[in-house]
Every structure is written in structure tokens, then in C-alpha cells.
Structure 1
Amino acid sequence: MNNHYDLFPTFCTVDITKIRQKMKYSIVILFSLLVFSSCLNRPNATDQLKPNMVFILTDDQAWNVLGKDGRYEFMKTPNLDRLSREGLVFENAFVTTSLCSPSRACFMTGSYAHTNGVYINESSDPDPNVPFLPKVLQDAGYETAFFGKWHMKPGAEPREGFDYWLIFDGQGQYLNPPLNENGRDFIEEGYMTDILTQYVIRWLEKPKEKPFCLFLWHKAVHAPFTPAPRDSAAFPDALIPEYENWYDDMEDKPEWLRRGWVYGVHNKKWKDSEGKPVPDKIDPRPWDPKNPKWMNYLRAMLAVDKSMGDIRNSLEELNILDNTVLVFGSDNGYFLGSHQRGDKRLMYEESLRIPLIIRYPEMIKAGTKNSELVLNIDVAPTRIELAGAEVPGEMQGASFVPLLKNEVVDWRESFLYEYFQEPYAPGFVTVAGVRNKRYKYIEGPDMINDINELYDLKTDPGEMHNLINSPAYQSIKSEMISELKRLKIETGYFDPEVYKE
């Protein structure tokens, strides 16, 4: 058959066979180029087996400040609630030191404060001899990025272990914050939570040659409680429900707690109160269901929830959501009026308990809940195991990967809590304690006419009745004291004397 067709005059005859061959080769080359280009923007075949990781941390968020928990019925957090439905909720997640810098160091090192060297907020960065999560992940082939609140050593300069760095110094500020991006200082107009989220999404959209681990550590909802301008008038008719343990007169609690409550816990006020009379109990104040401070705290959570939704949507649009371990938690809890208090630091439940939610459908069945005692020091070894790397033996936390898989395993029955007195707020004295699934024992410094604390969390979840001198609980008291001693020995606990001054 003649393959030459006189479509035009004879001088324009076309060889169809040759054209078809050229088109065939062109398509093959084009396809190869597309595949090659795609590979440039993706991890290699080995790295593709490793999950990406996103770790979102709030600041001072009480464990029950989520719409799903129902305490604040007027506050809706649909994106965080969705994360809970799609992932695993740890119902008994705790920090080992309820304070910003020490807790953050625990998340990053998998070790207690007395081991990683970040005892108080006035500390430096973690001890460089202690395993450091971002560095371990870099060595395992991960690209790492940090956004938000570092709050360990003062200064915003980049730290080792991160390929990308965007933070603010110290506590930062909510509106028009000064930021540092990879060593460059500048001021960004806008609201902090929104700004950090926008930078995260831009970073996610850039081509990646490796699996990544991204840390977004918000300033919110730390004081001064400042909602996004769009949320400043939210909940106009809302009433905050009174905490069951609001009327704590502290009569059976240590004297140092009442002294700090009456005279103040901060430096000069605490020092000036030395030798002054301390009342046997505290008179209750009336509950204010419209407390403007607490209202703004709750309003500030709305931007955090929006941030979660925006980041989730970005991961989904990039088609990497289901291969990403998405973690949400807080650096510590917060007293939103319980025990007539704000702040954290103390070893009561509202202070040391945190929200902890993880989504990873490759491993986690949607809607799972777990009641084991998990700690902030467990997060680093867990992430390292998920990355396929070897967990450093020096880490004191335990990987909870088996719990993510819903496996039945031997798990801890108790844990050590520690808090070290710091110059900023010496009215919060050094304490160590132990909590198991039912009881809590808190041991303060040796003081004249002072007592330690023992609580039965089953019969007294609000920790209103100190059982330290109850005849019926003396055997429990002895067991808890022994357990505290065991944990101190096991973890190499010591009280750094320099911070007592």
C-alpha cells in the first residue's frame, strides 16, 4: 500500500510512517522526562517507605479544651475533632515537668529534665551530649523544619538539626511579631498563629527530595491571651462552667502553696513574704462565668483549630496526608480556674495532663482511644522508630508504636514527675512525685510544719482531699514513697542545687 498521500501539491508529500515513528519516540522521551521530573520532587524508593511527620504543639493548652470533650459546649473545634475521629486519642497523656522550656526539651530529647539539662525556663538548650530528635532524624535521611516557639536558650538564631528555621525569640508576640528565618530577622504583619501556618504551608508546597519532619510549635494559647482579631468577639452569650474544684481552700495542702497564693509566687513578692503569717486556709472567691481572661484563652483556640484544618487540607492537596504521621499535643496543661488558680507547674491533673492525638492511617485505626500512661518523653523514641531508625539507648522514654498498632504490651504502671524551683517564680518550690493509674504522691522540700500530698484519683479526681495523714491510706503512702525512690534511682534523678537559690 502506498503510504504517500497527495494532501498538497507533490512538493509537499509526507512520509506517514516516518512521522509515526518520530511521534512514538517523542512520546517515549516526553514520558521519560515527566517521570524523571517527578522523581526529582519525591523521595527515592527506599525513603518513600518512610512516613512524613508533622508535630503541632500548642502552649499551655488544658487537656479538655477541645470541642469533642464537651466541657466548653459553646467552643467548636471541628478540625481537631476530626483529627480525633480519624486517629488515636491518648486519654492519659502527661508531661514530666509542667513548664514551657523543660517540657519542650523532653519532647526533643526523650529524656527527663534532670538528664537533658533544661531544668527551668532560664536554662540553655538541651545538653549536646544527649540524643536530639531532629539530629537523629536528619541522620536517618529526613529533612527537618521548625516553626514557632523554641523557648529554650534565649535568642532566635538557628539550631543544629534543622534544615529550615522560622522562630520568634522567647515568648514572642501575637500581633506583628518579630521573626527569624534561617538567621534573618524581620517583622511580619498579622496574627502569629495565622503567620506560622502560612509559612508552614508554603514550605510544604516546595519540592522535597526526602521524607520530612516538620515541627509547628504555636505561641497560642499562652498569656497574654490574645485571639485572632476575627475571633475577638466570639462567644458573646457564653457562660464558662465552674470547675468542680474551684472552691479549694487548701486547708490540707502544704503551707508553701497557701503562702504563694496569698503573697505571690514571683521573685520579690515571695522573698518579702518570708516570715509573714500564712492562713490555715484560703477563702473562696466567687466564680465569674464571663471571666474575660478565660474567654480570650478559649477564643485564641479557634485560630489553632483553623490552623489544623488548613495544614490538613494542604497535606491532602499534596497527596501526602495518609503517609504523614500527624501529631497534635501541648507542652503542658493549664489551670483554667481549678483550685482557684491560673498557670501550671504544680503536679495536679490540670497542670500535667495534656491533649495528645495522632493520625496515621497506615498504622492507626480511626476512632481509637488508649488509656495507658504516655509521656512527653515517649514522643521522640516513637518518631525515631516510625522513621525506621534505631532508638538511642540513652533515651528514657519508650516508643509507643505498639500502642498505635493497638497491640497488648507491658507498659509502665507509674511515672516520675519533677519540677525545679526557678528564680522567676520561687513560690513554686522544687517537688518530685509519682503518679500511677489510681494514686498520686507529691513530695515537696523539707520545711518546718509542712506536709506532702497523697490523692486517690478514683474517689477524688479533683484532688481536693489530701490523704497523707489518713490512717486508711498509710500502706498506700508507703508504697508510693517506695515507688518514687525506685523511679529516682532508675532515672538518675538529682536536684540541681544551683537552682535552689
Structure 2
Amino acid sequence: MNRKNTVLSILAIGALLSGLLVVSGSTTKKQEAASPARQNAVPPNIIFIFSDDHTSQAISAYGSKLAKTPNIDRIANEGAILYTNIVTNSICGPSRATLLTGKFSHLNGYKLNEKVFDVNQPVFTEELQKNGYQTAWVGKMHLGSLPHGFDYLNVLPGHGHYYNSEFINSKNESVRYPGYVTNVITKLSIDWLNQRDKSKPFFLVVGHKATHREWLPDAPDLGAYDKVNFPLPPTFYDDYAGREAAKDQDMTIEKTMRLKEDLKVHADYENSGIFNRFTPEQKNPFYDYYENKISKEFDAKKLSGRALAEWKYQRYLKDYLSVANSLDRNIGQLLNHLDKSGLAKNTVVIYASDQGFYLGEHGWFDKRFIYEESLKTPFVIRYPGVIKPGTQIRDLISNIDWAPTLLNLTGTAVPKAIQGESFLPLLKGQKIPWRKEAYYHYYEYPEPHHVYPHFGIRTDQYTLARFYGPKNFWELYDVKKDPHNLHNLYGMNGYEAVTADLKTRLKGQIQKYKDDEALTLLESKL
């Protein structure tokens, strides 16, 4: 099949499955020398477990009291945990594009969700292939295309479905796999590990749909948190004083979260594409729980006002964390497979999410803002014999740094076009010069959540952001004194020198990373 016919074939599948897919050619890149993790050692395998919207507030290794995540915690305890891991654009598809390219959204071209990733640009997995690695991606990819650089693909079209989802394989075929998607992704990943070319080292992305909206739990996890009454976050009733963008969004649990689709109150099991994919065996426990228990409870309470908002919050967390239960359980199954197969001793295991997420902070769900809860994303990594167990990294790491670090781990040359830097020396406990600020730029407006586009920097103490679009204004936060970003200090007496310094540093970052749009906005008058 030639390139034109291949593209047309995949586009036809995408039209059917609402997951536009295209395939790629090949690209040549300039390279620079790499520093291998081990000298004269067998190259390590890498498994990158990549979830969706799973925030550090829901991971016990990060101090969460909401849920227990023993298998994610195990990776952290046996290796390193990053506490200030910053994303460059807090949204699903662009985060994955940054992983693959090591570049910001303005250079890799994937600024918004539901677009098509440019397959003619370089991706770091090509370099792994040149270095003898076998590469694979299983599960959620969410790029609207099939990038090159992979020997095996079996990915969800778009977001996929929690139950009985289709997958698109390397042959551009659509195959529906019965079962709960988290379990299916783990099985497909282990199947590939068993069937791969065992003469080569491998790189595998295990891309989970969990914990993305609309949070459909697996049957064993239904009602897992029913006996828990979660405390309201201190900022649940935030009045957004002094913060124009925070006040003018559309992502509150109270007003935006939907009873029927998100919280399954009298869900439409016949016509809704969210709920009409069940087999009878799958539907019975799900329907019994949500229709005969939760919906009846809701009807009986006759809630309104704050009581309704708080009930929705409780239901949201119970569903979100129940979905996370399956995610962590499946990570444990994968870790057990590595132990039993003997792969664990020379396999780097990483767990990360595409960005942070709000679990009721500021009254919100979703992500997008440069504020702490969505800006920072979990990242834990285990590499036996190289990363000391219990390592804690508090330096500012950006997700543009992921690709060069993965290349560095494998002794693979890092292309000069990659904008990030390898933080492997930090993982190994070495003292090296490191970044003092992390750059951020969010674009998607007005749909779906009416969050103004903005760019800015996060330093060890401050966040400075410039919002633009329908309105233009600045925000400044002292994240050490104000970790919830409640007090906008921009323009306040006593912060003139800090603001001037941060604006200079912001301009430096914009110029360094060649964000011409942001530079034009920065130099324009408000």
C-alpha cells in the first residue's frame, strides 16, 4: 500500500471511530553525543506507563490521603520521585506530542486537542530504533495520527472507550477488544512483551485511558469508596477574588459537571455512546449500582445549592478514585510480570500522567491552568543499580526533558532539535547546573472549558503568567507562601523588583524556546 492509499485507509477508519489517523514517513535529524547510563553494560529496556488526568493528589507516594496506590508507590520507593515535574501545556494530546518530540507545542504544531499530529516531524523513538531498540505503544495515544518511530502500535482511536473499545493496530486495522479498557491495555502490553524480538532491547509505552472523564469504574471497583466521606478541599468555595481568568472559566463541579453523563444519575444506557457499549454481563452490576442505588439516593435527597454541589463532589471523587484503583492494580500486574519473566533487573519503569488535574480544588475538575494542581504532574522512575531507591528530586523538570532523558538512559544520541535536557544526572544524585525556571503556554479557547490562553514561567518560588485573548492581564503568585494560587500579587506594592526580574526571565525563556507568538504578545502594551 503506497503512502496516499495508507493515509486514505486510516482516514476512513478515523471517520468511523471519531479518531482521525494518519501514518508517517521518515525524517533525518542531527545528533549530538549521548552519555549512557551504564558504561559497557547491556542497554536497559524501558517501560513508560502513561496515564490520563491522574493527578499527584490521588497518589499516596505524593502524600495523598484520598487513595492508596501501592504499585505506583512501589516504583517511587524503589527509585525516584519527582516533586516539581512541570508540563508545558496542560492538556492531553499536546502533552503526548511533547513526550514524542521533546519540543514545545508551538514547534511540534500540536497546540490543541482533537487536531492531527504532524507525522513528518522527528520523534525520539526513531533514534531508539537506530540504536537497535524495538519500540511499541499500546493504549491511548490521542494524537489523531500514527507517528513513525514504532515497530508495533495498538492504540485507542481518540479517547477510546472504557468498555469494549476499538483499537487501531500497526496494520491500520480496527479491532474491538472485549473487556474493561485498563485490563485490555495491560494484557496487550504483556502479550507484546512475550512476543517481541527478544534479541533487542525494547521501549514500550503503556498508555492508559484512566483516569479520564467520564470515569467508568471496572466492576470489581464499583462502590469501592462508598463508605468514605471525603473532606472538601479548603479552596472548594473559592471566590476567585483578584483572579479574572479563574472567575471566568467553565469547569466547576457545581455548574459544569453533568449529572447524567459524568455522575451516571439516570444514565441513558440505550442511546449514549458512553453507556451503550456494555455486554449484558457488564451492564448488570453497573446498572444495578448506578441506577438502583446512586440514582435512587439522589432522587430521595432532592438536593439544591451547596448541598447538591457537595454531593456531586463526593460522587466525582468516588468514581475517579475507583477508576484509579484499576489503574494501580494493573500497574501491579505489569510489575509482577517483569519480576516473573526476569526482565525487572534491567528494565527502567516509569509512571507518569499527561498533566495534573483538579479534584475539587477551586471547586473544579479538569486541568489547563498554569496553577499548581494542573501544572505539576506525577513522575516516578525505577532503574535498579542506577537510581538509588528513595531518591527525591525537587528541581524543576519539564516534560520537554522526558525524551532526552529516555535517550540518555539508553546511550542514544540526543538530536540537537530537542528543546529539553536530560535529567539523568539528577536521578543519579549528581550535582549539575539546572534550570531555574520552567516555561508554559496554553492555547485552547474558548471550548471546551473557557480557560483564557496564557503563557508564563514557574520558578522555585514564583509563578508569573500573562493571559491574553478576549482580555489581557497578568498574574503573579508566591507558590511557597501561597501554594493554592489564591492571592494575585501582580501590581501590589513591594513586588515591583520581583515582577521586573520575572518578566526578564520570562522573555529569556520565550526567546530561548522560539515562541514568536508569545514574544509579540509580551512586547505589546496591555
Q: Would you say the 8 A contact 1:238–1:290 is kept in 2?
A: no
Aligned to 1:121: 113
Tell me the residue number matched to 2:466: 443
Evaluate the alpha carbon distance shift between residue 242 and residue 431 of structure 1 in structure 2; reply closer, same or farther with a 3 A threshold.
same
Q: Aligned in 2, Cα 1:184/1:48: closer, same or farther, shift over 3 Å?
A: farther
Q: Does 1:150 align with 2:141?
A: yes
State the match for 1:401 in structure 2: 424
Could you say which residue in structure 2 is the equivalent of 1:96?
Answer: 88
**Aligned residue runs from structure 1 range 190-201, under 5 A:** 190-201=179-190
Using the TM superposition, give the Cα deviation of residue 447 of structure 1 relative to its aligned residue in structure 2, in angstroms.
5.4
1:459: how far off?
1.0
- Residue among 44, 52, 61 paired with 1:68: 61
Determine if contact 1:72/1:240 at 8 Å carries over to the other structure: no
Quote the offset at 1:423 in angstroms. Answer: 5.9
Within 1, Cα distance between the matches of 2:138 and 2:347? 17
How far off is 1:424 after superposition? 3.3
- Determine if the alignment matches structure 1 residue 162 to structure 2 residue 153: no
1:469 shift after superposition: 2.1
Tell me, in whole angstroms, the C-alpha distance in 2 between the residues paired with 1:225 and 1:496: 35
Structure 2 counterpart of 1:478, one-letter code = A
Query: Normalized against structure 2, the TM-score is what?
Result: 0.77
Is residue 340 from structure 1 mapped to residue 363 from structure 2 by the alignment? yes
- Residues in 2 aligned to 1:100 and 1:407: alpha-carbon distance in whole angstroms: 32
Name the counterpart of 2:451: 428
Cα deviation, residue 255, structure 1: 5.3
Asked whether the equivalents of residues 47 and 203 of structure 2 are also in contact (C-alpha less than 8 Å), the reply is yes
Partner of residue 98 from structure 2, selected from 101, 106, 117: 106
Deviation at 1:93, TM superposition (A): 0.7
Aligned to 2:129: 138
Task: Please tell me whether the aligned partners of residues 108 and 118 of structure 2 are also in contact (alpha carbons under 8 angstroms).
Answer: yes
Whether 1:184 aligns to 2:162 is: no
Q: AA paired with 1:54? A: I
Which residues of 2 match residues 67-466 of structure 1 at below 5 A? 67-73=60-66, 75-126=67-118, 128-129=120-121, 131-153=122-144, 158-182=146-170, 183-206=172-195, 207-254=197-244, 257-258=247-248, 260=250, 287-288=310-311, 291-422=314-445, 424-425=447-448, 427-445=450-468, 451-466=473-488
| CA shift in 2, pair 1:284/1:469, >3 Å | farther
Go from structure 1 to structure 2 and tell me whether the alpha carbon gap of 1:63 and 1:114 turns closer, same or farther (over 3 Å shift).
same
The alignment-based identity, stated in percent, is: 33
What is the CA–CA distance in structure 2 between the aligned matches of 1:289 and 1:120, rounded to whole Å? 29
Bigger Cα Rg: 1
Q: Is residue 480 of structure 1 aligned with residue 502 of structure 2?
A: yes
Provide, for residues 6-37 of structure 1, a one-character-per-residue CA deviation record: whole Å limited to 9, x for no partner.
Answer: xxxxxxxxxxxxxxxxxxxxxxxxxxxxxxxx
> How has the CA–CA distance of structure 1 residues 495 and 439 changed in structure 2, closer, same or farther, with 3 Å as cutoff?
same
Q: Name 1:26's counterpart in structure 2.
A: none
- Contact between 1:254 and 1:452, CA under 8 Å: does it hold in 2? no
Distance 1:486 1:181, change over 3 A: same
Question: Alpha-carbon deviations, 1:102-141, whole Å to 9, x = none?
Answer: 1111111111111111111133214623x31111111111
Residues 227-254 of structure 1 show CA distances to partners (whole Å, capped at 9, x for unaligned) of: 1111011022112222122222112012
Residues 264-296 of structure 1, C-alpha deviations (whole Å, 9 max, x = no match): 999xxxxxxxxxxxxxxxx98864486212211
| Residue ranges of structure 2 left out of the alignment (5+ in a row) | 1-38, 258-304, 520-526
Amino acid at match of 2:139: G
**1:47 to partner: Cα distance:** 9.9
Partners of 1:68 and 1:168 in 2: CA distance = 29
Q: Please give the root-mean-square deviation of Cα atoms over the aligned residues, in Å.
A: 2.4
Alignment partners' CA distance in 2, 1:181 and 1:47: 36
Per the TM alignment, residue 164 of structure 1 is displaced from its structure 2 partner at its CA by: 0.9
Verify the 8 A CA contact 1:432 1:444 in the aligned structure 2.
yes
Letter aligned with residue 99 of structure 1: I
* C-alpha separation in 2, matches of 1:387 and 1:222: 31
Residues 452, 469 of structure 2: 8 Å contact kept: no
- What amino acid sits opposite 1:72 in the alignment? K
User: What letter matches 1:482 in structure 2?
Assistant: T
Q: Give the structure-1-normalised TM-score.
A: 0.81
Distance 2:84 2:72 in 1: 18
The offset of 1:451, in angstroms, is 3.1
Note the C-alpha offset of 1:458: 1.1
